[in-house]
């Protein structure tokens, strides 16, 4: 009886640790260009556009990019659907975009479940 209990515990532990983590197939990257009375950071906006174009060319893929204009000073948001990318490509794109935008002023980058 004691051996059966130990065997069941070992089986339960092995099942709990064998689960695999899957990437989110509907992942998206949201980038907001904000302004506090002086307009948005157009250099950062241009750098993001250039990065998206270069990434698409290098990976031979087309990303769905939704641009939403807000406000009177050029404020806008990008929602980049990463669904067509493999998990490694998603990570590569997100890391690269964050690098390109790291010095941007009033730029917010957020990973989301889906584009809205």
Residue 30, classed as helix, strand or coil, is strand
The CA distance from 102 to 75, in Å, is: 18
Q: Which tens digits make up the pLDDT trace of 52-110?
A: 999 999 999 999 999 999 888 999 999 999 988 999 999 999 999 999 999 999 999 99
Residue in the structure block whose two tokens are 């695999």 = 20
Q: Which two tokens stand for residue 93?
A: 């794109």
Structure tokens at 87: 């998990």
pTM comes to 0.75
Domain ranges of the chain: 22-112
Q: Which long-range contacts (CB under 8 A, 24 or more apart) does 4-11 make?
A: none
Which tokens hold the place of 10? 């070992």
pLDDT-based confidence at 26, cuts 50/70/90? low
For domain 22-112, give its CATH number from 3.30.70.600, 3.40.50.1820, 1.20.120.1200, 3.30.1490.190: 3.30.70.600
In tens, the pLDDT along 8-22 reads: 444 444 444 333 333
């Amino acid at each position: 009886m004691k051996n059966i209990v130990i065997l069941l515990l070992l089986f339960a532990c092995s099942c709990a640790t064998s689960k695999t983590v899957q990437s989110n197939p509907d992942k998206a990257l949201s980038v907001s260009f904000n302004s506090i009375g002086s307009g948005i950071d157009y250099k950062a906006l241009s750098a993001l556009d250039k990065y998206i174009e270069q990434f698409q060319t290098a990976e031979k893929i087309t990303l769905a990019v939704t641009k939403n204009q807000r406000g009177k000073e050029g404020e806008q948001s990008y929602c980049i659907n990463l669904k067509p990318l493999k998990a490694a490509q998603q990570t590569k794109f997100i890391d690269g975009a964050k690098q390109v935008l790291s010095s941007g002023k009033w730029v917010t980058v957020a990973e989301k479940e889906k584009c809205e």
